[in-house]
Amino acid sequence: MNVQNLSKNEFKIYLEAKKRNKKVLAIDDLIDMLHESKSQAYHQLYKMNKKGLIKRLKNGLYVIYPDHLLFNVQYYVEDPIQVLKQLSEPYFVSHYTALDLYGLSQRSLNILYFTTTKNVKPLNQETYLIKPVIVRQKYFFGYIQINLENDLINVSDLERTILDIINRPDLAHGFEDVIKSILGIDQEINYSKLLDYLSKFNKKVLFQRIGYLFDTPAIKRQLNVPDDFLNKLKAINYSINYFGFSREKGIYNKQWKLIVPTRIHSIFNDY
């Protein structure tokens, strides 16, 4: 790309975006920078995209190429987390992607998950897929802000992450990965908060799954699970449930009234 081909406005936008540490540019950012109409802002984005300054992700959302790569943009892969945070407000990074940010994931995935209350469509790019988990307002809780490469990112806290992956193992590469990730936790868990979150979910089978898993010797030892926490879960009146989504045959656990697949039992043999 020849920088001399840039208009004064295009150069101004690029420099202002860099000044604001913008890695992803939305239409509202441009309106704020230029104090122009939406149609004028769209026209500027269109021209900048054609000239190779930015890359279109979807209507009104563009990645800004780093200045040192402007002549080799074919080698540039944007940070999908930076893209994700621009897709919806409110949001928080969740499920397996949150596990990854905590250093607990078992493998690298090119699918990124975030939780939001807005009706947002997935964003499919060449090297990654961003998928929203859309929830009602009453389930939008349990997140913190972390600093990621000098940028603040909303991410589910550890307790919410644990509940999310046990509630939706399909968004965490299955129960096998979920259990191995939990066994890798070396941070202190706030069990009062975990109980509070469980009550907000108000889902009996989730209580049962948590109870069963946290009552296993391996997890109980690794996470220092207090007896008081387990006793509160045991005091609840449960119906018989299957551990997973399908009616997979397994071993009946009388304490938690769960039918647990043999493959889940076998994971703990190595711990």
Q: How many whole angstroms separate alpha carbon 237 and alpha carbon 227? A: 18
25 within 8 A of 64, measured Cβ to Cβ:
yes
Radius of gyration of the chain from Cα atoms? 23
Rounded to an integer, the average pLDDT of 137-166 is: 94
Where helices occur in the chain by DSSP H, the ranges are: 8-19, 27-34, 38-50, 80-87, 95-101, 158-167, 175-182, 191-201, 204-215, 217-222, 227-234, 262-267
Domain count of the fold of the chain: 2
223 within 8 A of 214, measured Cβ to Cβ:
yes
Beta bridge partners of 246: none
Q: What pLDDT, in 10s, does the model give residues 21-54? A: 888 888 888 788 877 777 777 777 777 887 777 8
**Of 74, 105, 128, the domain-final residue:** 74
More confident residue, 107 or 190: 190
Q: How many whole angstroms separate alpha carbon 29 and alpha carbon 62? A: 11
- Regarding whether 262 and 161 lie in a shared domain, the answer is yes
pLDDT at 2: 45
- Regarding whether 67 and 119 lie in a shared domain, the answer is no
3-state DSSP: the chain helix, strand, coil percent, rounded to 5? 45, 20, 35
- Regarding whether 169 and 45 lie in a shared domain, the answer is no
- Regarding whether 147 and 66 lie in a shared domain, the answer is no
253 within 8 A of 241, measured Cβ to Cβ:
no
- Regarding whether 222 and 141 lie in a shared domain, the answer is yes
- Regarding whether 102 and 70 lie in a shared domain, the answer is no
- Regarding whether 93 and 66 lie in a shared domain, the answer is no
- Regarding whether 210 and 123 lie in a shared domain, the answer is yes
Lowest mean pLDDT among 44-53, 100-109, 138-147, 214-223: 44-53
- Regarding whether 85 and 28 lie in a shared domain, the answer is no
Domain of 58, CATH number, reads 1.10.10.10
Q: Which amino acid is at 71?
A: F
- Regarding whether 132 and 15 lie in a shared domain, the answer is no
**Of 74, 105, 121, the domain-final residue:** 74
Provide the 10 A C-beta neighbour count for residue 40: 14
- Regarding whether 192 and 214 lie in a shared domain, the answer is yes
10 within 8 A of 51, measured Cβ to Cβ:
yes
Helix axes 204-215, 191-201, angle to 10 degrees: 150
What is the pLDDT confidence band of residue 75, given thresholds at 50, 70 and 90? very low
Q: 148: domain range?
A: 81-270
Residue 262 DSSP label: H
Q: What pLDDT, in 10s, does the model give residues 243-266? A: 988 888 899 999 999 999 999 988
Taking the model in full, what pTM does it have? 0.76
Rounded to whole angstroms, the maximal C-alpha distance in the chain is 74
Q: What are phi and psi of 123, to 5 degrees?
A: -115, 115
Which of 85-89, 101-105, 164-168, 241-245 is predicted most confidently?
Answer: 164-168
- Regarding whether 44 and 86 lie in a shared domain, the answer is no
**Of 42, 74, 106, the domain-final residue:** 74
pLDDT at 232: 97
